[in-house]
Amino acid sequence: MLLRCGLRGQPEILGAGMNPELEQQLQGELERARKGDRGALARLISVLERGGYGAACVERGLSARAADSYTVGITGAPGAGKSTLVNALLGEMVADAQRVALLAVDPSSPLSRGALLGDRVRMHSHAASPAVFIRSMASRGQLGGLAVATRSARRLLEACGWPLIMIETVGVGQVELDVASTTDTVVVVLNPGWGDEVQANKAGLMEVADIFVINKADKAGLEATRRDLEGALASLPQQRRPAIVETVATEGRGAVDLWAAICAHRQAIEESGELRERRLGQLRAELRGFVEAHLEVALDELFATDCADLQLAAIGRGAVDMPAAGDVLLAELWSLVNSPKRR
Amino acid sequence: MDANKNKDRLWKSASGLPLQKFYSESDVPQEQRKRMAADPGVAPFHRGAHPGGYRTKAWRIFQLSGFGKPEDENERIRFLLEQGETGFIMEHDRNTGDHCYNVDHPDVVARREDVGLTGAVMQSVRDIDICMKDLPLETSFGHAGGAVVQHAPFALAGYWTVAKHRGIDLARLPGTGQSDFFLTYLGCVTKQQVPTAAGLRFNADIMEFCDKHLPRWVPVSIAGYNGADTGLNAYQELGALFANAVEYLEEIKRRKTMPLENAARACSGVNFRASMDLFEEASKMRAARLMWVQLLERRYGITNPKVANLRIHCVTAGSRMTYQQPLNNIVRGTVMALAAALGGVQSLGVSGYDEALSIPSEHAHQMSVRIQQILQEETNIQAVTDPLGGSWYVESLTAELVERAWGFFEEIQDQGGFLATLDSGWLHERAAENQSEDFRQQESGEQVIIGVTDHKDDISPFEVDGFMGVDDAYDVALERLQEVRRTRYEAGAGKALSELEAVCRNGNNIMPAMMDALQSEVTLGEIGDVYRSVFGDWATPIQT
Amino acid sequence: MKTAGKRILMAKTGLDGHWRGPTVVAKALRDAGFEVIMIGMARPEEVMQASIDEDVDLVGLNIGGHVDVAVRAIGMVREARPEVPIFVGGVVPPHAKRKLESLGVEVYPPGSQLPDIVAAAVRLTGAA
Ligand SMILES: Nc1nc2c(ncn2[C@@H]2O[C@H](COP(=O)(O)OP(=O)(O)O)[C@@H](O)[C@H]2O)c(=O)[nH]1
Ligand SMILES: [Mg+2]
């Protein structure tokens, strides 16, 4: 029994065989997408984004992880120049005879749930290229820098034979952790003059970054930022120390070096066997995320029931204490998750 | 409409200054009252640039004009000169010009029907020569085009090269270019552009070159217009314009290549917008002259009245021209022109009444000229200088605009200066804020636009169809480009181009190399390619 | 509102960089709950490719110059995504407006009020 957050928050029950017609239609789409139909691929990503039964149908048709495809994450604060850098990097990748898909995630507005997705504006060089697939995704309320469907969209792209996938996400500090648990090589983009940020987020940054980019190297403060960064990394053993690459994305400067650093990192973790471990970790995080998402929906639902209100009132009167009320609700949650027909 | 609605209205100027029911002597700040004693034509010049005002020299009727092939534009300019225009603006096609693309660039090919809509296509000195055929270069004030920063060196060098071929001594050639940061980096952000630092260098290079060779030429013209029409209000337009001037002056000061006083004079021909708030806009022109005096004296110790006397070209607000009931725009153009004239500007362009519908038609052009002629000849407005001087309302508005404008100027300095506010998008945000507020006020009914928000019932029998474009502009431009490539002296062109590239890289003044490039028939797109490889692309903060 | 999850592509067909209008419209659409994908100045084939890859529910074109450039972009989007509605804003002379409307495209000339534009987006995306 699967349960998934629908777009407007209604939980839905996602049993196999509930709507054979739709299932068949989606399988057909998947077939077309696998054969290279970009329209079908694009529509399927929308299905994944909408969640619910349709998404579950598509996900069932995807294997867990294609071994021969590779994912690079690009993260950093808004305005760091990630999209501009991706544009330059795409050039290097395509020149290397690669086909590349990009998922560009930007936050949804918490108020209106709408979003302005402007990453493509920076990517004109590849706007109509058959070798590049770009998809803008709104986070749709998901915290952690990824959109609700980023991980499943990645798996879909892999299934459709895109050998190289980039994920651009907005991140500062903690938030980068999500991209780390989803991608094989994580590139963290900083700017000159960010010594303080480097200090403040030292632990988090070092945990996630495989490569640091100091973009906007044309701006003042480059040297200081580089020094701060090197200082922060000095404690790491030589072979685990992330590369630092300087770029001026608007001029395409440094893109070659960044691409080389990505390739080198890939090679290193493939040879050392770390890639296999990472992917196990990713799988674990993905599965956990899946379960968490469903629990969250059930929780929301639980707190909309009388049961929660009753416990709240009881606590208010002093009739029960917090742990006791919590136990009652946890038991209720359990039966809610297990109930076959909840609506 | 509600006859009582005026009673509870909160009366403000267009820039949001609160307005009183009426003004008395005590409302004029002390300092401003002292200034009122000065006559027009003497510092601090808020009362006018010249004691004789328009008696000495009528304002110049200066209209944008251009479309199609160079010969079409030449014909239009000559038509306008015959109609009574006293200067001319040579407009280059913006698709090719602003981007320094030749017509065979894929981004132009994809939009080939747009080519020639906004100006004539001029890709080499041959095209510029056709466009300038028989124009009175020495006796009328020419605008060589090149409004966008990366295009200006090409447009100017082209104009000057043709003038030289005609045997004109550059030292005697009057005119201007524009090379405006407001247009380039704020108002009309192109798809590709040199970064602001390179743009600053180009403008300083042009100023130096003119200082040496073209003393009568106005090398750059800062156009607050383009900031205002993007959303900056009156005092923001003023503050930002002088913040821009400071960037130029500081650059020249750093270079020490020409006297700072000459640089200040080079910056003293500016361009403002006149919009619909009649008294605020007239006051703005007065405030501008006053601020220039203050800036030069306080910051640079320059008091030479020849330099501190700001000359203003004014254009009426294109963005206030409505799509609905377009003939109403003739009235709007008249009111805005009146504001400019009351403010004592030296030169004026009136936006076409069909501006919101299309590129101005010939009739709209003619009306823009007629509006000005009617004001000049039938209203007696030219008889008396600074007719609003001494009005308690206008004097206090002037003083308040000056104060707020310096406040905005300081905000820009706090952001790291004018260029920094363009690079970061800070200035764009200020403009966008006002824009959104305007939309909100139009929805709420606080701001009324006749024919748009109110009185939408159009019984006007006139249908304005707008300018339809020129069919063969693209094809002819492509043929001419191929012909230049076929028939020019290739070795010479190649040499001039590599020299230009070397200069772009080594930091010397680019204008001599640009003159050689034009002389050697290097084309616009080749120059653009050099820029792109040397300077890269401006990191635009805009996302659309 | 049912605008959540509806996706709108916004492009400029010309090379002229007036950004105020499209920006204000994009923000209004976002505030109404739409996901607005901006691609800036784009050639017809770029508009078409984005309309496919981004699986949008509506295409908004800001046009500045000659109507034929817009017509070409509209033709390419129509061929790739025949079911997707298109609306147009910008400087659109009456003759161009008539031509665009005859192609089944809604036109919002200067002076159009934001609530009307948002309402059109709601209607055209079926979010009403
Ligand atoms: N000076 C400079 N500006 C850059 C550079 N890279 C990007 N930018 C600018 O930084 C701003 C934000 O870029 P964008 O790629 O959208 O950043 P993102 O939010 O991280 O994706 C834009 O104005 C870019 O043009 C660079 O290397 N140097
Ligand atoms: Mg981005």
Cβ–ligand 1 contact at A136 (below 6 Å) = no
CATH number for the domain spanning B385: value is: 3.20.20.240
Rounded to the nearest angstrom, the minimum Cα separation between B342 and chain C is 29
| Parent domain of A227 | 70-272
Percent of chain A with pLDDT over 90: 46
- Residues A50, A102, single domain; the answer is no
- By mean pLDDT, which of B481-490, C10-19, C23-32 is the weakest? C10-19
The residues with which B273 forms a beta bridge, in sequence order, are: B315
The closest of B28, B417, B50 to B246, measured between CA atoms, is: B417
The residues with which B18 forms a beta bridge, in sequence order, are: B12
Q: For the complex shown, is ipTM > 0.90? A: yes
Q: Which of residues 172-191 of B touch A (CB under 8 A)?
A: 191
pLDDT of residue B150: 98
3-state secondary structure of C84: coil
Whether the per-residue pLDDT at B66 is higher than 60: the answer is yes
- Residues A122, A43, single domain; the answer is no
Cβ–ligand 1 contact at A265 (below 6 Å) = no
Q: Do C15 and B99 touch (CB under 8 A)?
A: yes
- Residues A138, A264, single domain; the answer is yes
What ligand is nearest to the CA atom of residue B428? Answer: 1
Rounded to the nearest angstrom, the minimum Cα separation between B137 and chain C is 30
Atom of ligand 1 nearest to the CA of B539: 25
Helix orientation angle between A274-303 and A306-317, rounded to the nearest 10 degrees: 80
What does the pLDDT look like over B388-433, one tens digit per residue?
999 999 999 999 999 999 999 999 999 999 999 999 999 999 999 9
What does the pLDDT look like over C31-53, one tens digit per residue?
999 999 999 999 999 999 999 99
Among the partner-chain residues C35, C53, C54, the one whose CB lies closest to the CB of A114 is C35
Sort out which chain C residues have CB atoms less than 8 A from A7's CB and list them. 4-5
- Residues A57, A88, single domain; the answer is no
- Ligand 1 centre and the CA of B196: distance in Å? 14
Asked if B544 is an interface residue toward chain A (Cβ–Cβ < 8 A), one would say: yes
Asked if C98 is an interface residue toward chain A (Cβ–Cβ < 8 A), one would say: no
What does the pLDDT look like over A25-61, one tens digit per residue?
999 999 999 999 999 999 999 999 988 888 888 988 8
- Ligand 1 centre and the CA of B410: distance in Å? 26
DSSP per residue, A12-29: EE--TTS-HHHHHHHHHH
pLDDT of residue A6: 33
pLDDT of residue B202: 98
The closest of C80, C14, A120 to B107, measured between CA atoms, is: C14
B125 with B482: CB under 8 angstroms?
no
Sort out which chain B residues have CB atoms less than 8 A from C110's CB and list them. 322-323, 356
CB neighbours (10 Å) of residue B533? Answer: 12
HSE toward the beta carbon, residue B489, CA cutoff 13 A: 9
Atom of ligand 1 nearest to the CA of A77: 20
Q: Do A38 and C53 touch (CB under 8 A)?
A: yes
Sort out which chain B residues have CB atoms less than 8 A from C16's CB and list them. 94-95, 118, 188
* A272, A287, A311 - which closes a domain: A272
Among the partner-chain residues A38, A109, A113, the one whose CB lies closest to the CB of C52 is A38
Asked if C18 is an interface residue toward chain B (Cβ–Cβ < 8 A), one would say: yes
Cβ–ligand 1 contact at A250 (below 6 Å) = yes
What does the pLDDT look like over A100-145, one tens digit per residue?
999 999 988 888 999 999 999 999 888 889 999 999 999 887 766 6
pTM: 0.90
- Residues A214, A88, single domain; the answer is yes
Closest-CA residue in chain B for C63?
B114
Asked if C45 is an interface residue toward chain A (Cβ–Cβ < 8 A), one would say: yes
Closest-CA residue in chain C for A140?
C5
Atom of ligand 1 nearest to the CA of A168: 21
Classify residue B287: in a domain, yes or no: yes
**Residue B362: band (very low, low, confident or very high) from pLDDT cuts 50, 70, 90:** confident
Sort out which chain B residues have CB atoms less than 8 A from C22's CB and list them. 544
* A255, A272, A289 - which closes a domain: A272
pLDDT of residue A341: 44
Cβ–ligand 1 contact at B540 (below 6 Å) = yes
Among the partner-chain residues A8, A46, A134, the one whose CB lies closest to the CB of C55 is A46
Classify residue B369: in a domain, yes or no: yes
pLDDT of residue B257: 95
d(CA B291, CA B293): 5
**Residue A232: band (very low, low, confident or very high) from pLDDT cuts 50, 70, 90:** confident
Classify residue A278: in a domain, yes or no: no
* Section B174-185 average pLDDT: 95
Whether the per-residue pLDDT at A241 is higher than 60: the answer is yes
* Average pLDDT over chain C, rounded to an integer: 93
Sort out which chain A residues have CB atoms less than 8 A from B536's CB and list them. 248, 250-253
A181 with A281: CB under 8 angstroms?
yes
d(CA B153, CA B145): 10
Q: Do C15 and B466 touch (CB under 8 A)?
A: no
Sort out which chain B residues have CB atoms less than 8 A from C107's CB and list them. none
Whether the per-residue pLDDT at B185 is higher than 70: the answer is yes
What does the pLDDT look like over C49-79, one tens digit per residue?
999 999 999 999 999 888 899 999 999 999 9
Contacts of B334 (CB under 8 A, 6+ apart): B371, B374, B375
Cβ–ligand 1 contact at A79 (below 6 Å) = yes
**Residue A208: band (very low, low, confident or very high) from pLDDT cuts 50, 70, 90:** confident
Classify residue B487: in a domain, yes or no: no
Whether the per-residue pLDDT at A342 is higher than 60: the answer is no
- Residues A222, A316, single domain; the answer is no
Question: Which of C9, C20, C30, C63 best tests the B interface by mutation, with the highest count of B CBs <10 A?
Answer: C20
Rounded to the nearest angstrom, the minimum Cα separation between C28 and chain B is 9
**DSSP category for residue C30:** H
Q: In testing the pocket of ligand 1, which one of A84, A87, A251 has its CB within 8 Å of the most ligand atoms?
A: A84
Instruction: Look at chain B and report how many structural domains it folds into.
Output: 1
Whether the per-residue pLDDT at B466 is higher than 70: the answer is no
- By mean pLDDT, which of B133-137, B264-268, B470-474 is the weakest? B470-474
**Which CATH number fits the domain C7-124, given the four candidates 1.20.58.340, 3.40.50.280, 3.40.50.2300, 3.40.50.300?**
3.40.50.280
B46 with B390: CB under 8 angstroms?
no
Whether the per-residue pLDDT at B370 is higher than 90: the answer is yes
Where does residue A99 rank: exposed (0-12), middle (13-18), buried (19+ CB within 10 A)? Answer: middle
Instruction: Look at chain A and report how many structural domains it folds into.
Output: 3
Q: Which residue has the higher pLDDT, A64 or B222?
A: B222
* A216, A251, A272 - which closes a domain: A272
Rounded to the nearest angstrom, the minimum Cα separation between B537 and chain A is 6
Sort out which chain C residues have CB atoms less than 8 A from A8's CB and list them. 4
- Residues A198, A104, single domain; the answer is yes
d(CA B464, CA B356): 11
| Parent domain of B71 | 5-455+463-473
Asked if B416 is an interface residue toward chain A (Cβ–Cβ < 8 A), one would say: no
- Ligand 2 centre and the CA of B150: distance in Å? 27
The closest of C63, C111, C41 to B542, measured between CA atoms, is: C41
